[in-house]
Amino acid sequence: MRRAHFLSRLGLTLLGSLPASALNVPALPALPEIAPVGAPARPTPARPVLPQPATQPAQPVRAASAPSDPLFAQQWTLPVIRAPQAWALSGVQAAKPVTVAVLDTGFVNSPELAGRAVNGHDFVSDPARAGDGGGRDADASGVGPYAFHGEVVANIIAAAHDGRGMAGLNPRARVVHVRVAGTDGQIDVPDLVDGLKWAAGLPVPGAPSNPNPARLLNLSLFADFIPLTRCDPRVQAAVDAVTARGALVIAGAANDGADAGGYSPAGCRSVLTVTSVTAQGARPAYANWGRSVALAAPGGEVGHGVTVSSVSGAGGVRDPNGTSLAAPHVTGVASLLLGVRPNLTPASLRRILTSTAAPFPGGNCDPQPARSCGAGTLNAEAALNSALSSSLGK
């Protein structure tokens, strides 16, 4: 049950990241610590509320040209899922902002999300693993050498199209960071359960109410301290509760090259589980597979990672690979769908995303049919066209 390194839990593989020599660290990629935002004493901050469209209009996505962000040309995953074609659709220009929760390593003050991200809540209950001098509190700032994980996930979803850094899938999306992973990268089931509920706006004892409940919950991780044999009943109950609330849980399948059905939340009912494929539509060896996987998205492979902005990366850039990067591609597109059809249910979102997926070359992502990758590869243009051509969810 234990893993050689927690990046497996968080949906990244050890290979394919920036070389250790570029980061002045040993061969095992222990990356520089991102200091928490705020004072060391971590006083309870005023809980921000994300701006509403009437008070802070979102900058429209430009359909006439590609984003001018300098990393856009290196973001090979975007043409694979036909994101530029989706942005060019006329109905997308009138899309409304959608709030997404990223349950991960916590908040990093990224310029890519300025004004559209909030420091939500820290649900890491074990002070020894929290690394911030205490247990749960109202400061979800990322702590430790891998705090970048939640940052890059959020940037894939929502990085601005502003001529700096990278281009996110939905530059209008608003992000709430919910910290559930300790500095060791491990996720305790009760912390994950409460983080799920809080992110969707459900009450959690001991935590203030969430003023920014999310319609989409991105979980590029899986729970620890439990056997990898099925969905944990506690996690399933939380997924059921947030789904009934109208929120869709999107999870990475994990990176053990195994059946995702034994993982929580990847193996849970009503979760849209996403595995990785290469630019050619094949399953990388690390990517989990199986009947619980609903969809695939590009997540990179050894030597061909996913280019992302990161304030702690060498030159402000990282190129990791893993199902952690595949899942937020789906979350970003799902947020575009909700932007044009705000009343879509979790089941309707899932149906649109899977029914419009591009077929795998030759019909399969893997020569072994049992190692399946879901309905196909995410197709943003086809998904948005499907939503815009229907009155469902208006």
Give me the active site residues, please: 104, 149, 324
Q: Do residues 174 and 97 make contact, with C-beta atoms less than 8 angstroms apart?
A: yes
CB-side exposure of 32: number of CA atoms within 13 Å?
Answer: 14
- Enter the tokens of residue 33: 């610590």
The answer to whether 265 and 251 have CB atoms below 8 angstroms apart is yes
The structure tokens listed for 369 are 């049919």
Residue 200 to residue 217: CA distance in whole angstroms: 8
- Which residue do the tokens 């649109």 mark? 352
Chain centroid to CA 57: 24
Contacts of 41 (CB under 8 A, 6+ apart): none
Widest Cα–Cα separation across the chain: 57
**Residue 6, C-beta contacts closer than 8 angstroms, at least 6 positions apart:** 146, 181, 184, 185, 186
Angle at 151 between CA 178 and CA 34, to 5 degrees: 95
Q: Copy the structure tokens of residue 292.
A: 């619980």
